[in-house]
Structure 1
Amino acid sequence: MSTAPKLPADAASADVRLKAVTHTPDQITVGQLLAWGDKHPDADVQDQAARARVLLTGLRRRHAADQELAAIDSEEEQLAKRLAELRARKAELAPAKPKSKRKPVEYPAAEVRAWAKEQGVDCPPVGRVPKAVVEAWRAAQTNG
């Protein structure tokens, strides 16, 4: 035996009609919820709907910006790949660059080193003779 009170027939049918038109919270769309909030007699509910619209607008803008950034990143990667391909092909087609020729040494290195040693001027025994040593040797040659 049930302990629930018996409803009149017209009340039971009204309850069924009410259940048919109401939505559960997860079934109502954002647009429907905002429209409901806009029309609600409570000013606080209307204010919440207005603030929700502002926040949703901000979210939509951020979402659009993120979508655009993702598209830009993708296109940038594709362009970088294409540019690398073009540069590689250009290098294949371009004529070889002539090798640079070394300038002939304008001084007898062995003679300059010997002079530097006699004069007590610091000069490395191998490699390039420092410019200051060469200039001092030339000055000594023209004065000497």
Structure 2
Amino acid sequence: MTATARDMLAAGACVQDIIDATGLTSGEIAAIAESAGLTQAHADQAAQDAARQGEKLLDLLAWGEQHSVRSTQALAARARTALTELDTRRTREQEVQEASDEIARLERAITATRAKLSTAKGGTSTRRTAPATTKTPARTCEHRQARAWAKVQGLDCPTVGIVPARILTAWRNAGAPGRTAS
């Protein structure tokens, strides 16, 4: 959507056409225009549109909350609650994305630093190798069967990693259903 909006802005499309084509808000379009260095006029128009839409929405909520009909008041209250929740979720999602981006950047920096260290040490690896696992085919199969049984029973069991002892014990106490002869 961002690339489409950027292309439409570059082609001189009006903000409403971009909104209709992409589903983006005028505020998002303003941000895209600004970050892409496109015309200030587009950014200004989108910012003004966003401000008008925000004012209209607030006026509508205030009208509903002050309405004489209780069902209209309740509807306005639910709408305000829903908008607040949406804002919270968007903020949370942005924070998660920013943190994920920061982690990716730091991981790239760590990889580059490890390569420098390796070169400085004369090409030796700075990473330790993981010890070989001692899983036997029978144990792996048993865990797979216990996980499947736990899922059918509605028990909380991770899909990867260690199967909790409580799950294995419950599975065995149930007669180890699904167990195949080893």
Question: TM-score range, shorter-chain basis?
Answer: 0.3 to 0.5
> What TM-score comes out, normalization by structure 1 length?
0.46
Question: Which of structures 1 and 2 has the bigger CA Rg?
Answer: 1
> What TM-score comes out, normalization by structure 2 length?
0.37
